[in-house]
Chain A
Amino acid sequence: MSNLLEIKNLSYSRNLHSILENFNLEIPQGQIVGLLGANGAGKTTVMRLIAGSFLYRRGTISVQNSQTVAERKSKVSFTEQASHLEMNAPLSKIGDFYNEIYEDFNLTNFKQLLAELGLKIDQKLNQLSKGNYRKFVIAVTLARNVDLYLLDEPFDGIDSMSRKKIIASIISWKPDSATILVSDHHVADIANLLDSVVVIKNKKVIAKEAANTIREELGQDIETYYESYYGEENDD
């Protein structure tokens, strides 16, 4: 089986400060993969590099054998694509915007997702609570029909009811062949959802393992597995 996402020898720095070095990652099609790491370990940076909003000079990234950055963008739906919107626009207007701009955006699915998540289409963006804003971002991201979804900390700072609804949407709306990369620093939230986990530390992928292997062969829960790489260390 060929890999959906292939990152080879990727190095990236910002302000002459190295963030990723010789970063390698391969993810097969159809999986839900947890991207784990401490704050500042580079999870968001990796996602931005895959999505094409950060630019790299060394290494390669390809999604479904994409050749150009624009082509890669057409295969990736990233939660950050909903981060600079007109705040006083109603959700319906924002749906229209995406429907016009993204050929793979499905307006019907978007409306259905909003309904499932308990959002009203005539609500304005700046009227949404933090939890509802996260739900809206998930709706926008999942309403595109692409090969790879990048969900950056989708549960950060929200209550457990919102989290459950978002998880249910992820399960029900993920196309079978699509892959999801989801970052989180509270692994327990999403442990049941994951096919495998990738742990980032010291500018590299230091561990990558199938969830079943962790439980079956290592006899650990995913949180313990993750903590074994970060245990008793202070985040800097």
Chain B
Amino acid sequence: MKFDDKVPIYYQIKQYIYQEILINHFQPGTKIPPVRQLAIDLTVNVNTIQRALSELIDEEILISKRGKGNFVTTDLQILNQLKENIVEEKLEIMYTQLKNLQISSDEMVQYLSDYIKKREENDHE
């Protein structure tokens, strides 16, 4: 994994784990790899992983079971909320950028649906 060295590494690791959960690499109720393994896989310090995980535990996305490891929550409400938050975050960036170009809300919807159509056709070929 490539990190942006200007952004705290623990923050980027959180984003990485969110993504792994959303795309079901880390499934609800399953155990995520041990801290040291994650550290080796991502070539970062154990302390950095620990910090990312403890924030995820605070957010109740991960459940820490003493002596067993960290598990992805089975609470669908939290997982759906997570998905919503992340999608909203991405949309927010797009919305702000398009708004800066003085594109109206209706145009925005039009552009987006056109773009999706175009992408789908391209990907089929």
Q: Residues on A close to B: CB < 8 A?
A: 30-32, 164, 167-168, 171-172, 174, 176, 188, 191-195, 211-212, 215-216, 219-223
Determine the distance from Cα of A216 to Cα of B51 in the docked complex, in whole angstroms. 14
| B6/A221 in contact, CB under 8 A | yes
Does B5 sit within 8 A of A, measured CB to CB? yes
Mask for B47-64, Cβ within 8 A of A = 1, else 0? 110010000000000000
- Whether A195 contacts B47 by the Cβ 8 Å rule is yes
Distance in Å: Cβ of A229 to nearest Cβ of chain B: 17
**Pick from B6, B36, B45, B51: contact of A215, CB under 8 Å:** B6
Complex CA gap A174/B39 in Å reads 11
Q: Is B44 an interface residue (CB 8 A)?
A: yes
Chain B interface size band reads 10 to 19
Chain A residues within 8 Å of B3, by CB:
192
Contacts of A220 in B (CB 8 A): 6
6 other A-B residue contacts (CB within 8 Å) besides A167-B43, A194-B45: A164-B43, A171-B36, A171-B44, A192-B48, A215-B9, A220-B6
Contact A193 B43 (CB under 8 A): yes
Which B residues form the contact surface with A (CB < 8 A)? Answer: 3, 5-10, 36, 39-40, 43-48, 51
Q: Is the CB of A215 within 8 A of B8?
A: yes
Cα–Cα, bound, A215→B8 (Å): 5
A172/B9 in contact, CB under 8 A: no
Contacts of A32 in B (CB 8 A): 45, 47
Please name all residues of chain B whose beta carbon is closer than 8 Å to the beta carbon of A193 when the two chains form the complex: 43-45
Report B-chain residues with C-beta under 8 Å of the C-beta of A168.
Answer: 40, 43
The 9 nearest A-B residue pairs measured at CB: A221-B5, A215-B8, A221-B6, A212-B8, A192-B44, A171-B39, A216-B8, A171-B40, A32-B45
Q: Shortest CB–CB separation between residue B102 and chain A, in angstroms?
A: 29
Q: Which of A176, A211, A223 contacts B9 (CB 8 A)?
A: A211
Which of B7, B36, B44, B47 is close to A172, meaning CB atoms less than 8 Å apart?
Answer: B36
Task: Assess the B44–A30 pair: CB atoms within 8 A.
Answer: no
Smallest beta-carbon distance A158→chain B, Å: 16
| Of B6, B36, B46, B47, the contact of A219 (CB 8 Å cutoff) | B6
B36 in contact with A192 (CB, 8 Å): no
Q: How far is the CB of B72 from chain A (nearest CB, A)?
A: 23
A164, A174, A222: the one contacting B5 at CB < 8 Å is A222
Per the bound structure, the CA–CA distance linking A216 and B4 in Å amounts to: 12
Question: For A174, A192, A193, A222, which residue has the most chain B Cβ atoms within 10 angstroms?
Answer: A192
Q: In whole angstroms, how far apart are the Cα atoms of A200 and B47 in the complex?
A: 24
List chain B residues, Cβ under 8 A from A176: 46
- Once the chains bind, are B46 and A171 in contact (CB under 8 Å)? yes
Decide: B40 and A191 in contact? CB cutoff 8 A: no
A171-B36, A221-B5 known; A195-B45 Cβ under 8 A? yes
Rounded to whole angstroms, the CA-CA distance of A221 and B6 in the bound complex is 4
Which residues on B sit within 8 Å (CB–CB) of A216?
Answer: 8
Query: Are the CB atoms of A215 and B47 closer together than 8 Å?
Result: no
Q: Which residue of B lies closest to A174 (CB)?
A: B46
If the complex has contacts A192-B3, A215-B5, are A30 and B47 also in contact, measured as CB distance less than 8 A?
yes
Q: Which residues of B contact A211 (CB under 8 A)?
A: 8-9
* Cross-chain contact A188 with B45 (CB below 8 angstroms): no
Contacts of B36 in A (CB 8 A): 171-172
B44 contacts which chain A residues (CB < 8 A)? 171, 192-193
